[in-house]
Chains A and B, each alone.
Chain A
Amino acid sequence: MKKLLSLMAVLALFITTALAQDRTITGQIVDEKGNPVPYATIKIKGSSIGAAADQNGNFSIQAKTGDILQVSAAGLEMLEIAVPAQGAVNVTLKSGDVMREVVVTALGIRRTRNQLPYSAQQVAGDEVSKTRTSNFVNNLSGKVSGLELRQTNTLGGSTNILVRGVKSITGSNQPLFVIDGVPFDNSTTNTTDQRTGRGGYDYGNAAADINPDDIQSVTVLKGAAASALYGSRGNNGVILITTKKGRSGLGITVNSGFSWGQIDKETFATYQHAYGGGYGQYYEDPSGFFLYRDIDGDGVKDLVVPTSEDASYGGKFDPSKMVYQWDAFDPNSPNFNKARPWVAAANDPTAFFENSLSSNQSVYLDGASEKGTFKLGYTRTDDKGILPNSKISKNLVNFGATYNVTPDFTVGGSINYSGITGKGRYGTGYDDKNVATNFRQWWQTNVDIKEQKEAYMRFKQNVTWNWADPSDLTPIYWDNVYFARYENFENDSRNRYFGNINANYKIGEHFNILGRVSLDNYDEFQEERQAVGSVTTSAYSRFDRTYSETNYDLLLNYDQDISTDFNLKALLGMNIRKQHITSMSSSTNGGLITEKVYSLSNSANPINAPLESDGRREVDGVFAGGTLSYKDMITLDGTIRRDASSTLPEGNNVYYYPSVSIGFVFSKLLPDLNWLTYGKLRANYAQVGGDAPFYSTLDVYTIVPPFGSQAQSSVSSTRNNPELKPERTKSSEVGLELAFFKNRLGFDVTYYDAKTFDQILPTTVSTATGYSSKFLNAGTIQNKGVELSAFGTPIQSQDFSWTINLNWTRNRNKVVSLFEGSENLLLATFQGGVSINATLGQPYGTIRGSDFVYTNGAKTVRTTGTAAVIGRYMTSTTSNEVIGNPNPDWIGGINNTFKYKNLSLSFLVDVRQGGDVFSLDLYYGLATGLYPETAGNNDLGNPLRNPIAEGGGVILPGVKPDGKPNDIRVEAINYGTFGYRYTPAAGFIYDASFVKLRELVLTYSIPSKTISSWQFVKGIDISLIGRNLWIIHKNLPYADPEENISAGNLQGYQGGAYPTTRTLGFNLRFKF
């Protein structure tokens, strides 16, 4: 840190600025027709000092010579003007041809709106840095149409990003991240077990390494035409990030923020308070609910909780009943050898969650002179999660500089470092390290979480409530949750270096040549632990991964006004991309020798050889593009690219793909329509080709750890294919942009249709072939959809304004074809007898499992069969019915911003309508009797858990096979009545719709008058920030419908879901 500070000091000296004296500048703002523009905003660039013009366009502001004034007004093009040495500043704003600022498109090419013939939506950097989340991507939610985000509630977990739906059946569907023209890897390295809910940690996605403080703007390129120049990697859309550039003079921005969070109880379990631990009425004591042992040695048998039972289908609470509980067998507990009244715990697992705490501190320096520019940023983030012993820290350093060797020749470079360290990430899935699985599925309501804490804290031992038996004090299914958090923790780190060197040369007036070498390099390290004394075998494992990508780019640009009406831009380029990914994972075998020593050499048995992978890829691309525009009204754009990829077999490894686009600004022909400010039609068509995953052409064997000294090996379960050819996407898009009333109102609507076919995928085949899958070119997915972005300024006056931004997306996805006669491609199986699939003729990602049998649309109960099943639901004969579709009907976001003088309030409401989620938490948790639905009274007003003979039991809603209403009462005395045992998987499919108040930001900029006397400060912003404050509407009980296990193609499944964290924080920003 010291070094960094001295470095910054040197740089600050490097570019010195003369501090000129501020003076009052006055002026008037008019439009092209000479009419005054009322209430325009005047801002000094790079500071928060601003002023507003009056009704007649007159303004005054404190500024000094050379300052850049940014003048903007609704409906008019923003203008920058330097403060002259003397005199007034009179400004003429052009009427709004351009709805918003210049848009950065593929390869960093800047386009005005008029010349943009495809859909690209831009979000200002402020929008992603203002309200802090551990991953800036989350801040895009609801702000871009066509972009669907799914966030997890784990600390530092991965965010699933989809642009215009799933296109690839088995490949990645995550968009490409590009920073200043250079691809930035966004891998998620979560294991298959993690992604399929079988345990493990969500290590997040690598885009979280990006420093939000360094982002100038984010552009989302949605369709293939926009991203065609990026080749197959652009197939899933592109998130283009433009970083900040040095500005003239020396600027220093200091940002300091803190936030606190608490769980949203609506997204966590609510427990019934009537019955305690047990599975039913079959234990030792006469009542059948308790063990019956003589604990105190008085010769009389005592009641004991069946500690091994991780359910709450036990004895009815009764304070007069004295029962020995888990702590009676802990010699260090004050309750040792004592029976306690049989009552519900005072502190249920809700009390386990701590307050989250985040700190975000950053310093950003930048400057520019005629010789060049520089910037240096440092951001430090610390996030402590809602679970004990969880923390993620980030150090992000950005440095970039350009140097003008001659006026025509510029060299530049940038280097960015990000270091992320995590400790105690949340366990996920169906695993003993996931405390949420424990709390939501397998818990005893008589266990007090605070007492569990005390029990662990006393001697840091695994004093669990879940003893195998009072006579066998080992944990059977669940550790003490505090032991699980403090002893069985993981830690991880990722160190990343990302940067480039480039040279740019202007050849004459029209040509420009850019050469660039860029590098994206990181290493990841993950260590996982299972302490001696845990439920599962003690273990230590480590995972090391390196990622390296080098890009060599050469770009020749040409730009010339051919005549007064025609402009031609052309581009010729080449790109060589080399990717190299290695990994190694290793773990102890059969336990640890010495406790608390986490090393491979501490393995109880000789370790099996580490699993290694080593993937290399090279793609050589050549591309060309041309844009012809006529009178800034009609734009014709075309590109073509040729790629040669190393992952495809020789002879099939070269592929070409074109794009054509047209844009027509028809409002130019309608100058008389005063209400119409802007109107544009655009249409495009593009193809994109794609290569194969590593090593999918040649067959290899899998080496299995030897049996003693005997080597073992196996045929790989996936058959490779030496005849693969490139996969293809064809997409077309039409769009309409309209703005009215001097840009007070406008929208951008797009319809698209994209088909990805000849997909390279490991097609699942009957395992009777000896394989699970075979690489083939097969399968087509179609995405059709409508995107709408709209904006409006209902109120605009000198002191007050109200603006609305709306984004709405409706995507329809369909699996159009699969390999020959197969009707389904199994993507993964999950706990709970469900699977996620690509099913022919259905949207991608169908959830399959057993279904109800319906009679006239009503769930049918059995009237025949074994006694156990009569009166319970009938289940479909196969467990392979399509029971859910995780894709939403539509998604949308509305952002409202109110500004009053220096105060601004904005809030974002994020909506997802439709889409299904399977809840393993309710599948098990309803069976084990945790939730209020499983207790209480039945239709007769009696406790439903009473035997039918005593007026208990329930009549399940539904009909009998003859269609008559069900009137068969079934016992609800033992576990399972409401959960999975007698209910098909379809009974646990829920609608995942939600309406969330996602963001709320209140910002106060200290008036320039106040701070103008403090010479060194240019601006101070104070913000109060709330995130995920309120789920306004949802249909999934006890959980956040957005919560998922990991980013990736497997969505629509929850198991061991974490609650949402509501955060509230403040942020201070100083500009010097």
Chain B
Amino acid sequence: MKKIIFILLPLLMMVGCKKDLTSLNVDPKNPQVVPSRSLFTNAQHTLANTLASSSVNLNIFRLIVQYWTETTYVDESQFDLNTRQIPRGVWNTLYRDVLKDFEEAKRTIPNDVADAAVQKNQITITDIMEVYTWYYLVTTFGNIPYTDALNIENPFPKYDDQKAIVDDLLKRLDADITALNISAESFGSADIVYEGDVAAWKKFANSLKLKIGMTIADADAAKAKTTVESAVASGVFTSNADNAQFNYLSGPPNTNPIWVDLVQSGRKDFVATNTIVNKMKLLGDPRMPYYFTFDATGSDYSGGVPGASNNYATFSKPAGPLLVPGSAGMITNPDFPHLLLSYDEVEFFLAEAVERGFSVGGTAKEHYDKAITASIRWWGGSAVDAADYLVGPSVNYLTAPGSYKQKIGEQKWIALYNRGWDAWIEWRRLDYPVLQKPTGALTEFPMRFTYNVDEQNLNKKNYDEAAAAIGGDVVTTKLFWDKF
């Protein structure tokens, strides 16, 4: 009997010992605290990826505005948003993967940044990035969760009115512009766009304010005017050197996502559309070799029919030597930078502001010329190329046909090549260029995205209210700033 007790003793000991079981439940492989700037970098990176991507699961805006079309699997070119649940991809990425990390960075910056001025700059820059992100959400969906958003304690966030959101974004930008302290540091190299240059962020904030101000120009001219004028007075981009661009690296996983989609994958999904190629040919656009490769003839450019099945070998493709050896563009380089906000864009807004009677200085033609020149230079063309192009009668602002909306709309569309999301916003607002209805289109042109389908299950009451408030959760519902 004694022996047995000895044998069983270890077992009895284990029962007897009081243990702190809960301490076992601390994950030894994942941190409970991280540097706040690592959250900022990640969010900035994810945001840039979302805007730059050409994945048909996430970013199909190049197809909608007819820069590219698909070869064989043409669903997205025909506006099929459902099969791949593209609105879900956009919604989830921007809310959960971008905004939440920015928000968390803001929350934790005071914990690990000692200098008060740096701390304030960092929080302010993060807020500017948030406003920038919200801009895409609100212009894509309309009413969205905003005041209740990013708060897990409220799992059923209500949707805010889209106009109220835009007003609030402008308010936040004003506060941010005031708050930035140019004489102090900010994120340093954790900021991939400006390496922490606070003065550059100030120009960025003003330029973004200009952009949002112009977005509402048709809906609220008075507010647009004061917004735009104050932004310009405070200092917007004045050259390509001011451009906000996300500078990708050449090694995966930190490359431009287009390289992954076009080059690394080996897929041959996209060709140019005849919409843009024909237009650029007509105008003799010097950006053509930077945008597209020669077609099957080896000496000319042609594009496929949007929405139709297109033979890959036949048509021009996005330019870049990695995709088509010898071609001039850089789009397919793994480290091709993605533009978040650009000088040419600012000049186009200024040209339009002049036409709308806002006091921003200069003439519409001056700004228009500067915009086109800046775009050509950024893509690799020379000043001479630009000057030659601008005298073409269909390009020359004074002789080109149509209203200012048409002139600016068409040139801006060309300049915004590779930035399909922005082009889609501007196309809806300016109603130019005239796009052709894709072959086999399943719906009319999307004027917005339908909401993330999950909202119907997870946040139904608020979803229903929002859908009713905007005039129906369908792609043809126009958003408040899209008056015409």
Contact = CB atoms under 8 A, between A and B. Distances in A.
A715 B11 contact: no
Contact of A866 (B35, B312, B440): B440
Given A476-B268, A653-B22, A701 B32 contact: yes
Contact of B82 (A477, A763, A824, A879): A879
Contact of A606 (B12, B32, B85, B251): B251
Interface string B11-27: 11011000101111111
Contacts of A613: 29
A284 B14 CA distance: 80
B202 interface: no
Nearest to B22: A650
B4 to A, nearest CB: 5
B42 A713 contact: yes
A719 B313 CA distance: 48
The CB with the most chain B CB atoms within 10 A, among A507, A554, A714, is that of A714
Given A576-B14, A605-B252, A878-B456, A468 B42 contact: no
A503 interface: yes
Interface stretch (A72-80, A204-212, A614-622, A1049-1057): A614-622
A306 B85 CA distance: 30
B401 to A, nearest CB: 29
B468 to A, nearest CB: 14
A316 B269 CA distance: 25
The winner among A284, A697, A707 for most chain B CB atoms within 10 A is A707
Contacts of A868: 78, 439-442
Nearest to A310: B72
Interface stretch (B115-123, B146-154, B164-172, B424-432): B146-154
A876 B252 CA distance: 40
Nearest to A615: B27
Interface in B2-51: 4, 7-8, 11-12, 14-15, 19, 21-35, 37-39, 41-43, 45-46
Nearest to B33: A701
Contacts of B144: 768
B470 interface: no
Given A536-B266, A771-B96, A823-B460, A703 B157 contact: no
Q: Which of A475, A704, A767 has the most CB of B within 10 A?
A: A767
A479 B72 CA distance: 18
Nearest to B305: A282
A701 B35 CA distance: 11
Interface residues of A, number: 109
Given A770-B103, A879-B85, A712 B264 contact: no
B266 A468 contact: yes
A790 to B, nearest CB: 43
B257 to A, nearest CB: 13
A765 B42 contact: no
Contacts of B43: 714
Interface residues of B, number: 97
A295 interface: no
Contact of A711 (B41, B95, B249, B266): B41
Interface in A263-318: 279-280, 282-284, 291, 306, 308-309
Nearest to A503: B7
A1009 interface: no
A760 interface: no
B249 to A, nearest CB: 6
B14 A515 contact: no
Interface stretch (B221-229, B359-367, B447-455): B447-455
A880 B457 contact: yes
Contacts of B442: 866, 868-869
Interface string A475-519: 111000000000000000000000000010101000001010100
Contacts of B150: 768-770
B129 interface: no
A468 B32 contact: no
A869 B27 CA distance: 53
A709 B27 contact: no
A535 interface: yes
Interface in A836-862: 837, 850
Interface stretch (A352-360, A640-648, A910-918): A640-648
Interface string A686-719: 0000000011011111111101111111111101
Contacts of A589: 251-253
A284 B311 contact: yes
Nearest to B12: A554
A711 B37 contact: yes
A574 interface: yes
Contacts of B103: 770
B14 A770 contact: no
Contacts of B8: 503, 513, 515, 554
B39 A714 contact: yes
Nearest to A763: B155
A279 B141 CA distance: 35
B162 to A, nearest CB: 14
B265 A707 contact: no
A700 B96 contact: no
A305 to B, nearest CB: 13
A866 B309 contact: no
B22 A608 contact: no
B39 to A, nearest CB: 6
B194 to A, nearest CB: 14
Contacts of A774: 152, 155
Nearest to B4: A505
Interface in B76-106: 78, 82-85, 91-92, 95-97, 99-101, 103-104
A265 to B, nearest CB: 30
Interface stretch (A28-36, A125-133, A801-809, A814-822): A814-822
Interface in B422-479: 437, 439-443, 452-461, 474
A980 interface: yes
A534 B361 CA distance: 58
Contacts of A617: 24
A17 interface: no
A126 B128 CA distance: 71
Contacts of A704: 38, 42
A282 B28 contact: no
A982 to B, nearest CB: 9
B22 A280 contact: no
A702 B104 CA distance: 13
Nearest to A923: B83
Given A713-B42, A774-B155, A764 B96 contact: no
Given A711-B41, A766-B155, A833 B266 contact: no
A939 interface: no
Contacts of A869: 442
B127 to A, nearest CB: 16
A796 B403 CA distance: 99
Given A576-B15, A705-B253, A711-B37, A765 B100 contact: no
6 contacts: A282-B311, A554-B8, A608-B253, A698-B32, A766-B454, A866-B437
Ranked 5 nearest A-B pairs via Cβ? A770-B100, A824-B457, A868-B440, A700-B30, A768-B145
Given A766-B145, A766-B156, A822-B155, 10 more contacts: A513-B4, A515-B11, A590-B251, A646-B24, A650-B21, A694-B25, A703-B34, A710-B37, A711-B37, A768-B145
Interface of B: 1, 4, 7-8, 11-12, 14-15, 19, 21-35, 37-39, 41-43, 45-46, 72, 75, 78, 82-85, 91-92, 95-97, 99-101, 103-104, 144-145, 148-152, 154-157, 189-190, 192, 249, 251-254, 264-268, 308-314, 437, 439-443, 452-461, 474
Interface of A: 279-280, 282-284, 291, 306, 308-309, 409, 468-469, 471, 474-477, 503, 505, 507, 513, 515, 517, 535-537, 552-554, 574, 576, 589-590, 605-606, 608, 612-614, 616-618, 620, 622, 644-650, 653, 694-695, 697-705, 707-717, 719, 763-772, 774, 819-824, 826, 829, 832-833, 837, 850, 866, 868-869, 875, 877-880, 974, 980-981
